[in-house]
Structure 1
Amino acid sequence: MATNERTMKATADAVWAVLADGWLYPLWVVGASRMRDVDEGWPAVGTRLHHSVGTWPLLVDDTTDVVEVTPGASLTLHARAQPSGIARVTIRLEAIGAETRVVIDEDAVSGPALLVPKVVRDVGLKWRNDEALRRLAYVAERRASRMESRA
């Protein structure tokens, strides 16, 4: 399983607010290009994001399902990226004062991606999730600073 982490200059509540807003998914998830729908109640277990991956005109419609959730602390997803298969993605938040340590663990659980040697999969996932965490930090930190300036 590829693991990435980043400490963000935002509270765990501020980071969770981004994760809990399914419409923001393409802003921080590398490869997600647009949202088609977000199930009512996201991110409750069993709810789904309906997104597209790729670049127009080569877009593939896919979904991501919530498998486990501890509100404000962790979110485990099954992300589909056909034709490569399904990945299990766990995002954990750890409050460190006014900052938050965010950890993403990801690996393929089904499909042709499992045919790729793990060491090769991990390199790609680590690169991708490093960028995803950078983007998530931009969104969460910007939103947190706007909230502070309004207070």
Structure 2
Amino acid sequence: MITVSRHCNASPEAVWAVVADGWSYAAWVVGASRIRAVDGGWPARGSRIHHSVGSWPLVLSDETEVTRVEPGRLVRLQAKTRPFGEAFVELEVEPDGDGSRLTMREDATHGPARLLPHPLRQLALAPRNAETLHRLALIAEGHERG
């Protein structure tokens, strides 16, 4: 499992408000280029975000499904980008002083990426997920200030 973590100067409630807004997903998830639809009830278990990845005209459309949720604290996802594969993604939000601790865990579960040795997957995923958490923190902090 590839794990990255960072402090955020926004409250856990402000961070969760961004996570719970499925339409904001492409603004903070590195690689997601647009959101085509968000199931009602997102981020309830079984709900999905229908997203695209890549840059036009090379765009792949797929979906990400919630497999577990603890509202305000944790969401587990099965992210799909077929034919390249699928990944387990977990985002945890915890109180940390006057802000939050954001932790993201991810690893390939299906497809060609699963065949890569763990150190190579980590080289690709850790920087991407660090940037994802950075973007999430900036959005949550901006909403809380505004």
- TM range, smaller chain: over 0.9
Other-structure match for 2:68: 68
Alpha-carbon shift at residue 63 of structure 1 (Å): 0.1
TM-score normalized with structure 1 length: 0.95
1:113 maps to 2:113: yes
1:80 is paired with a residue whose SS is strand
The whole-number CA distance in structure 1 between the counterparts of 2:82 and 2:136 is 24
Q: Secondary structure at the match of 1:105?
A: strand
Correspondence 1:128 to 2:128: yes
User: What amino acid is aligned across from residue 145 of structure 2 in structure 1?
Assistant: S
SS at match of 1:44: coil
The SS at the match of 2:37 is: strand
In structure 2, the gaps of 5 or more residues are none
CA distance in 1, matches of 2:62, 2:6: 27
Structure 1 moving runs of 4+ over 6 Å: none
Find the counterpart in structure 2 of residue 34 from structure 1.
34
Q: Secondary structure at 1:40's aligned position in 2?
A: coil
- 1:70 Cα deviation after fit: 0.1
TM norm structure 2: 0.98
Equivalents in 2 of 1:40, 1:127: separation in Å?
31
Aligned letter for 2:57?
A: P
Q: Give unmatched runs, 5+ long, in structure 1.
A: 147-151
Q: How many residues align?
A: 146
Partner Cα separation in structure 1 for residue 101 and residue 29 of structure 2: 18
Instruction: Tell me how far 1:98 sits from its aligned partner.
Output: 2.5
| Aligned equivalent of 1:58 | 58
SS at match of 1:10: coil
The Cα offsets for residues 131-150 of structure 1, whole Å up to 9 and x where unpaired, read as 1011111100000101xxxx
Percent identical pairs in the alignment equals 49
Q: Note if 1:92 corresponds to 2:70.
A: no
Shift in Å, 1:83: 2.0
Q: What is the one-letter code of the residue matched to 2:52?
A: S
Aligned to 1:149: none
1:78 maps to 2:83: no
User: 2:4 maps to which residue?
Assistant: 4
